[in-house]
């Protein structure tokens, strides 16, 4: 356990870490904060080459961990994992943790991590992919990332008009999935679609007003091979010019009285329907 305790929020080191809550500083340093034991555990596992890390021996690292005394005692497995990986652990007071955390009730442990995104041209074979186009809500984006991971997706692409995946809320909503599969950041949607086509995938646009029904597309065999899904903005969906880049707009059928599905729910239905079809062939 770390002996020295940071107790002042005015400490230059603590101020430096706190700045990572802002996108400008994250991009400058190519570092971000992973908050909570689940996120820190997955970050350490990915950096150590454990689990389903897509980065192999060049895994982005966990730079350092900050934890309260109580959290250190409660999460001895994390402290051991950090020690084994050679990651420094710094003990902080509750006041300092409250300053560093981006949640109302901090869980007492935060890791400073290196960016994990990969260049678009480094994406390998694609069986299932998700493209987030103009997705602005970090909670939705993180949930889609988590769902894509659970459905066995090979990559998630955040286009240049979408939210920063290293936003604290997005990282938390991903529940560690940020560290499980390759993500690509900041590319135009047209380039993302072209890449998926080069990898042999059909690309569909998820659109509540789409003329084709998801079940119709699935029953017709159009989800059996490699597939990429493009998901749009929470409020206005996908612009027509984006839909034209794809093989067509597909809607999730609504059998009850609900007006629509939110982005994360629609993405879950599309991704899992595709995963099921692919596993039947």
pTM listed for this prediction: 0.91
Alpha-carbon distance of 213 to 223, in angstroms, equals: 12
Same fold across 5-114 and 120-280: no
Q: With CA atoms as reference, report the closest residue to 192 among 167, 158, 215, 217.
A: 158
Tens place of pLDDT per residue across the chain (281 aa): 555 789 998 999 999 999 999 999 999 999 999 999 999 999 999 876 433 334 333 346 899 999 999 999 999 999 999 999 889 999 999 999 999 999 889 999 999 999 999 999 999 999 999 999 999 999 999 999 999 999 999 999 999 989 999 999 999 999 999 999 999 999 999 999 999 999 999 999 999 888 999 999 999 999 999 999 999 988 888 999 999 999 999 999 999 999 889 999 999 999 999 999 999 86
Q: With CA atoms as reference, report the closest residue to 158 among 181, 175, 124.
A: 181
Alpha-carbon distance of 79 to 90, in angstroms, equals: 10
Alpha-carbon distance of 226 to 238, in angstroms, equals: 22
Residue 51 tokens, joined: 């689990």
231 strand-pairing partners: 132
Task: Domain 120-280: give its CATH code.
Answer: 3.40.1280.10
Alpha-carbon distance of 102 to 110, in angstroms, equals: 10
The pLDDT, as a whole number, for residue 176 is 93
Alpha-carbon distance of 154 to 179, in angstroms, equals: 13
The pLDDT, as a whole number, for residue 195 is 96
Phi, psi of 179 (to 5 degrees): -95, 0
Residue 95 tokens, joined: 């006041």
The pLDDT, as a whole number, for residue 2 is 58
Q: By the 8 A CB rule, do 116 and 103 touch? A: no
Write the CB contacts of 213 (distance below 8 Å, at least 6 apart in sequence).
250, 251, 253
Residue 200 tokens, joined: 């042999």
Q: Where are the domains of the chain?
A: 5-114, 120-280
The pLDDT, as a whole number, for residue 208 is 87
Task: Domain 5-114: give its CATH code.
Answer: 3.30.1330.30
CA dist 279 → 20, 107, 214, 224, 274 (Å): 41, 38, 17, 8, 9
Burial of 27 (0-12, 13-18, 19+ CB in 10 A): middle
187 strand-pairing partners: 159
Burial of 261 (0-12, 13-18, 19+ CB in 10 A): middle
């Amino acid at each position: 356990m770390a002996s020295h305790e940071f107790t002042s929020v005015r400490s230059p080191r603590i101020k430096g870490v706190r700045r990572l809550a802002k996108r400008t500083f994250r991009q400058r340093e190519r570092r971000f904060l992973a908050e909570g034991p689940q996120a820190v555990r997955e970050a350490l596992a990915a950096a150590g080459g454990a689990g389903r890390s897509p980065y192999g021996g060049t895994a982005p690292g966990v730079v350092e961990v900050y934890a309260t005394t109580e959290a250190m005692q409660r999460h001895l497995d994390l402290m051991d994992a950090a020690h084994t990986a050679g990651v420094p652990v710094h003990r902080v007071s509750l006041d300092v943790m409250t300053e560093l955390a981006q949640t109302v009730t901090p869980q007492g442990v935060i890791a400073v991590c290196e960016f994990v995104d990969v260049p678009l041209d480094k994406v390998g074979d694609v069986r299932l992919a998700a493209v987030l186009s103009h997705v602005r809500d970090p909670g939705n984006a993180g949930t889609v990332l988590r769902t894509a991971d659970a459905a066995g997706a090979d990559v998630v692409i955040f286009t240049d008009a979408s939210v920063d995946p290293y936003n604290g809320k997005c990282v938390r909503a991903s529940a560690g999935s940020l560290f499980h599969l390759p993500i690509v950041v900041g590319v135009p949607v047209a380039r993302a679609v072209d890449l998926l086509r080069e990898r042999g995938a059909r690309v569909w646009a998820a659109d509540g007003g789409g003329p084709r029904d998801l079940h119709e597309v699935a029953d017709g065999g159009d989800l059996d091979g490699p597939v990429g899904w493009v998901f749009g903005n929470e409020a206005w969906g996908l612009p027509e010019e984006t839909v034209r880049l794809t093989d067509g707009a597909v809607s999730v059928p609504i059998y009850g009285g609900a007006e629509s599905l939110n982005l994360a729910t629609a993405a879950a239905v599309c991704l899992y329907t595709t995963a099921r079809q692919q596993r039947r062939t």
